[in-house]
Amino acid sequence: MHTLSGDRRATCTQACRLPDRACPTRAVTGTGHRTASNPPRYLHRIDGVSAGPPAQTDRDDASGDRSSGNESTATPVRYEEVSKRYPGADHDAVHRLSLEVPAGEICVLVGPSGCGKTTAMRMVNRTVEMTSGEIFIGDRSVRQGDAAELRREIGYVIQQIGLFPHRTIAENIGTVPSLLGWKQAEIEQRVEKLLELIGLDPEFGDRYPSQLSGGQQQRVGVARALAVDPPVMLMDEPFGAIDPINRSRLQNEFLRLQAELGKTVLFVTHDVDEAIKMGDRIAVLRKGGEVAQFATPTELLMEPADDFVEDFVGADRALKRLALMRVKDASLWKAPICLAGDPTGPVRSDLAGAEVPHALLVDSGRRPLGWLSERDLAAPQVPSRPDTPADPLIDADSILRDGLATLLQSGSQYAPVVDGNGRLGGVLSVEIVADFLSSGEAAESELAAVDRPHE
């Protein structure tokens, strides 16, 4: 069974009967199957009590502060004629895969069940060994060196999260730094920074996984994958087990992190909508492990390579284009705005030629407070409490599809768009979205200019 041994080392017990590649502990930490009485020499407890002499690494002598936030430079990943055939199989799970993921981009591997997308990803960190071909991270083949060391240099996030249940959140995040012999103070500083990065208060560090929601646990899984600042991250359906509302929120949070950190990411999903939202580039695999198309989201939607890709993407390709643009990049309307106590005469004049039929009351920081009705504007001065609240508010960084969903769910024809500080950026309407979808060549050229909605 998968437990932590009595001294809380990050290894599985002798009772584990899973093969190495299927063991979640090994996948996260890079360790193989060992008994608790025979731990690897580099394995240390999170609390700093040594389980043996630490392996000396270049990091031990580094003068820089690992917790300072100076993240590493991303590295490209390149597949060259990579194939994998499992023992006893009569065909390849992955067949002669060749593609390159540029540094700092998200490449999504998507396709039907059994197309080899997860196998293709796992060959990067050698939890699955390739049969032929080469995979390079930068200029180095992944075959060079020890597989366990390779895994510690690559972030790995899985759907089941794989947090150690008897370790605190801080200990979970600090797992790989501890294995690498980082000093306890460095681990604590790194954990504190990562908790801040994923939007969790420092007090969460002392909690256990069972005390967190599924979405919070998945955030911790992402933080653990970022713990040693890997240039490459592997994400195997990381949001697949989360409910739709939290899934969208976590996707947006990860895109925010990616915009800040710029990692090279291989992301596996079966959901083409998620692929379009998350990917800089998308590799569509067909059964038999062959690439049917490798393209940007725009190219995939506008020019599917063949009938298989067209069918897989779906008949609603036009609607999927809504995932290619952020709300703030759309042609938003401008609403007349005013402060409480302003004279209503000028507001009524501004409304005469406005795209929005109502004026918007804002505070001194341009944060929306409510829509002003005709009764509100009949008074000499703008009231401090308008008849109609400003809800819903739409996040400027959300994709156009999510903005439309917010409008439809609230029954509103239009709504204020706000930035991260709540400041007004414009007004999104159902009409704007409809115009976007029907704008033909103009929309295509606009999409090409914003092919990456989360940069």
* 161 lies in the same domain as 289: yes
Structure tokens at 219: 């955030």
* 277 lies in the same domain as 346: no
pLDDT at residue 26 above 80?
Answer: no
Residue 66 belongs to a domain: no
Between 302 and 63, the more confident residue is: 302
Percent of the chain topping pLDDT 90:
48
* 214 lies in the same domain as 287: yes
Mean pLDDT of 307-331: 86
Return the CATH number at 405: 3.10.580.10
Return the CATH number at 261: 3.40.50.300
Mean pLDDT of 289-314: 91
Residue 56 belongs to a domain: no
Half-sphere exposure of 126 (CA within 13 A, CB side): 22
Domain count, the chain: 2
* 149 lies in the same domain as 180: yes
* 278 lies in the same domain as 410: no
Domain boundary among 276, 302, 321: 321
3: confidence class by pLDDT, cuts 50, 70, 90:
very low
pLDDT at residue 316 above 60?
Answer: yes
* 360 lies in the same domain as 316: no
Rounding to the nearest 10 degrees, give the CA dihedral for residues 90, 92, 96, 97.
Answer: 170
Residue 275 belongs to a domain: yes
Q: What is the b/e burial string over 69-80, where b = at least 16 CB atoms within 10 angstroms of the residue's CB?
A: eeeeebbbbbbe
Domain boundary among 300, 321, 342: 321
**Which of 301, 281, 285 is closest to 100 using CA atoms?**
281
CB 142 within 8 A of CB 124: yes
Highest mean pLDDT out of 57-61, 253-257, 260-264: 260-264
Query: Mean pLDDT across the chain, nearest whole number?
Result: 81
Between 222 and 40, the more confident residue is: 222
Residue 430 makes CB contacts below 8 A (sequence gap 6+) with 404, 407, 408, 413, 414
* 291 lies in the same domain as 335: no
Percent of the chain topping pLDDT 70:
80
Residue 286 belongs to a domain: yes
Q: CA torsion sign, 39 to 43 to 44 to 46? A: negative
* 272 lies in the same domain as 414: no
pLDDT value for 440: 52
* 425 lies in the same domain as 340: yes
Structure tokens at 227: 């713990």
Residue 90 belongs to a domain: yes
Residue 316 belongs to a domain: yes
pLDDT at residue 132 above 80?
Answer: yes
* 274 lies in the same domain as 380: no
Alpha carbon distance 411, 403 (integer Å): 12
221: confidence class by pLDDT, cuts 50, 70, 90:
confident
Residue 63 belongs to a domain: no
323: confidence class by pLDDT, cuts 50, 70, 90:
confident
pLDDT at residue 13 above 90?
Answer: no
Between 198 and 382, the more confident residue is: 382
179: confidence class by pLDDT, cuts 50, 70, 90:
confident
What's the domain range around 301?
77-321
* 315 lies in the same domain as 332: no
Mean pLDDT of 256-278: 91
Residue 3 belongs to a domain: no
Residue 105 makes CB contacts below 8 A (sequence gap 6+) with 264, 265, 280, 281
Alpha carbon distance 324, 448 (integer Å): 9
pLDDT value for 227: 87
pLDDT value for 38: 35
3-state secondary structure the chain: CCCCCCCCCCCCCCCCCCCHHHCHHHHHHCCCCCCCCCCCCCCECCCCCECCCCCCCHHHHCCCCCCCCCCCCCCCEEEEEEEECCCCCCCCCEEEEEEEECCCCEEEEECCCCCCHHHHHHCCCCCCCCCEEEEEECCEECCCCCHHHHHHCEEEEECCCCCCCCCCHHHHHCHHHHHCCCCHHHHHHHHHHHHHHCCCCHHHHHCCHHHCCHHHHHHHHHHHHCCCCCCEEEEECCCCCCCHHHHHHHHHHHHHHHHHHCCEEEEEECCHHHHHHHCCEEEEEECCCEEEEEECHHHHHHCCCCHHHHHHHCCCHHHHHHHHCEHHHCCCECCCEECCCCEHHHHHHHHCCCCCCCEEEECCCCCEEEEECHHHHHCCECCCCCCEECCCCEECCCEHHHHHHHHHHHCCCEEEEECCCCCEEEEEEHHHHHHHHCCCHHHHHHHHHCCCCCC
Q: Which residues share a beta bridge with 337? A: 360
Domain boundary among 321, 353, 374: 321
pLDDT at residue 268 above 90?
Answer: yes
Mean pLDDT of 400-424: 92
72: confidence class by pLDDT, cuts 50, 70, 90:
low
| pLDDT single digits (tens) 345-391 | 999 999 988 889 999 999 999 999 999 998 999 999 999 999 899 99
pLDDT value for 288: 85
| pLDDT single digits (tens) 142-170 | 999 899 989 988 988 887 767 888 999 99
107: confidence class by pLDDT, cuts 50, 70, 90:
very high
Contacts 24+ apart (CB under 8 A), 213-219: 213/246, 214/241, 214/242, 214/243, 214/246, 215/242, 215/246, 215/249, 215/250, 217/161, 217/163, 218/157, 218/161, 218/242, 218/250, 219/250, 219/253
Alpha carbon distance 291, 4 (integer Å): 40
* 282 lies in the same domain as 388: no
CB 78 within 8 A of CB 142: no
- Order of strands across the sheet that contains 368-372: 337-338, 359-362, 368-372, 388-389
Mean pLDDT of 322-328: 87
Tokens 């990917």 -> residue: 279
pLDDT value for 71: 52
